[in-house]
Structure 1
């Protein structure tokens, strides 16, 4: 029954693509999207509010379970703005803690990754288990009425989406699977729990994080930026969008030639459960606020966009794939990642100049079209997460997309 429902859903998607390709106007009743105020990209007070009320309380990708394959293995992530240790405990559970000793705040680890039986602060020697419990304090006699149980490491919410590790600074956050809602069912065919980490690399760009993130929420720019790459095989005019609650979304762009498959992946292991629809179209999932995942049967790039400040962004590009042997990787991966990087650089190339223009008097606001509605959906969610009453009147976006959000 589930397979039948999926098949019917894909048939509906194909019909939507045909309608999108042939339409002369946006759908009847779709509103003209109000301008997005410039302040949301350049105003220091607004960006500080965004960081405090949204980024610090969102589900954010931290890494892959391969990075903590064995009990005692750990890695450190700083992308969230606070250093967080992700560790596999001796019992096999994956946990996350702030890299902060409960004595005077010194770091517990200094390297990016490692393996240990516990954590020892290098400043004064306080010791903790991999579960975060304080077990030893130097000169404990000098701490009157000291309760070890009250000084465990500060934990960070940590949950899995298959083999993907997400963390959240909000202890009261909705569970991850519930939070992504209808997307969870759509991702089942990808068997994320079985996929291995292939590669991960970082790029830093001088622009606000939304300048780059916006580019990955639409395909309106393909004919300009990707004229000699993806525009050659993707039909942007037939692209369809699904808006989900909590700011999440999906975009599907068909290939110009029906049934086209990237010849550079021929012979690579495939995820056996991937549908023909997913295999022969370009699908991109977005987990709010900064995680973009365009799957293919032979491997999936995972993109994250991290704010390093008002005008600085880190882009992390990782790959996961089925049946990957890290000791003996498929030789096709080198070319595949190089081709992906070429496309990525096309998107990054103008970002510093765009930021410069946004900060000038010529930019008062952003005018979006129907194809770019995922960007507007992102901003509507931002105001909801901040709290509309806390968003300055001049920086607010008008909520207009609720009738177009799919809750099923």
Structure 2
């Protein structure tokens, strides 16, 4: 590893308690060496959401995505087993499946027609008749670890690592089971693009609602900010707030109800925002040092035509929040490039989740130094 990157990592002290802690250095948000190391560690060794369970319920159903620069394919086999693969043909490396999702009887590369079974085994190789030392059984699609939790499919690029259940931990699994997410149904997906490093978006999410009264007036009108709480687990943070009924922003209060709002972050880039009868799921994907895609999946208890107008009104409220966050995240990214800024102190009351995120990130990056 370049000494410069090692020096940047060494600038952060994860042992400091929250009362004494500051953020990770500004350089971590603007340095390509750090970004490259994140792809090799943070995004390769953690469980990454690859799709929804409802997309791959039946044999032949598949989804594709990109994780840490790697093309990924998840498919339900004829035997009913869900498997993940690198979406890379073993002949000349083209993507085998080119659509975001679909259903297929087999997996056929569009480049030279090499064909794989739904279980990833190579079967068809046009114009390969008498090639020496060619063993089709050794040229199947390369697998990735795959697991299902609640409504989602996850994959892990690295072959070695903790299972998904172990990574999540029993506390989180039990809490989500109590939410009965199986009663919520996917309604719509939207993509948002932020002019900032992916960590800026995560920091903003994890600031314990610190920015909500100042930036999100509508959202603040339905949250009891005084009683906002933050609880950290090993790899997750739960931010929670009692709901205020009949707030002074009718567009928000009409679609954000219930007794309590729950905001879950799972390291490093997966969020679940739960309100009574609805939730949205956020997947944060780095597109570059200064560019981030956030994929939102919206779920509702009622997805009938009769409920469509209200559901879209709820999504419109989400759009307002994202527009507000886009502007502030762009401002933060610009400031991180300033000679006037290096690190910022963290609030004991509000930023415990951010502190956890930074310590986990440091552990992954510094671990690569030891390797």
Q: TM-score, normalised by structure 2?
A: 0.87
Q: 1:322 pairs with 265, 286, 301, which one?
A: 301
The change in CA–CA distance for 1:258 and 1:323 in structure 2 (over 3 A counts) is closer
Please, which runs of 5 or more residues in structure 1 have no aligned partner?
A: 1-28, 267-277, 392-408
Q: Which residue of 2 aligns with 1:368?
A: 346
> Does 1:288 find its partner at 2:271?
no
Q: Deviations over 1:345-368 (max 9, x none)?
A: 111122222211111211111221
The change in CA–CA distance for 1:30 and 1:357 in structure 2 (over 3 A counts) is closer
**Partner Cα distance (2:299, 2:46) in 1:** 23
Q: Deviations over 1:200-241 (max 9, x none)?
A: 1101122100111111112000121112x1112323332221
> Does 1:133 find its partner at 2:124?
no
Larger mean CA deviation between 371-380 and 32-41 belongs to 32-41
Q: Deviations over 1:125-182 (max 9, x none)?
A: 2110011011122233342122111111011211111221111112222111221112
CA RMSD of superposed structures (Å): 2.5
Q: 1:202 pairs with 181, 191, 198, which one?
A: 191
The change in CA–CA distance for 1:316 and 1:30 in structure 2 (over 3 A counts) is closer
Q: 2:315 pairs with 307, 324, 337, which one?
A: 337
Q: 1:184 pairs with 146, 167, 173, which one?
A: 173
The change in CA–CA distance for 1:194 and 1:98 in structure 2 (over 3 A counts) is farther
**Partner Cα distance (1:119, 1:388) in 2:** 37
Contact 1:258–1:280 (CA under 8 A) maintained in structure 2: no
Q: Which residue of 1 aligns with 2:220?
A: 231
**Partner Cα distance (1:68, 1:160) in 2:** 11
Please, which runs of 5 or more residues in structure 2 have no aligned partner?
A: 1-16
Q: Which residue of 1 aligns with 2:11?
A: none
Give the drift of 1:316.
0.7
Give the secondary structure class of the aligned counterpart of 1:286.
Answer: strand
**Partner Cα distance (2:165, 2:181) in 1:** 13
Q: Which residue of 1 aligns with 2:10?
A: none
How many residue pairs are counted as aligned between the two chains?
349
The change in CA–CA distance for 1:183 and 1:149 in structure 2 (over 3 A counts) is same
> Does 1:152 find its partner at 2:140?
yes
Q: Which residue of 2 aligns with 1:53?
A: 41
Give the secondary structure class of the aligned counterpart of 1:139.
Answer: coil
> Does 1:122 find its partner at 2:110?
yes
Give the secondary structure class of the aligned counterpart of 1:241.
Answer: strand
Q: TM-score, normalised by structure 1?
A: 0.79
**Partner Cα distance (1:179, 1:336) in 2:** 32
Contact 1:60–1:80 (CA under 8 A) maintained in structure 2: no
Q: Which residue of 2 aligns with 1:358?
A: 336
Q: Which residue of 2 aligns with 1:377?
A: 356
The change in CA–CA distance for 1:168 and 1:329 in structure 2 (over 3 A counts) is farther
**Partner Cα distance (2:301, 2:278) in 1:** 7
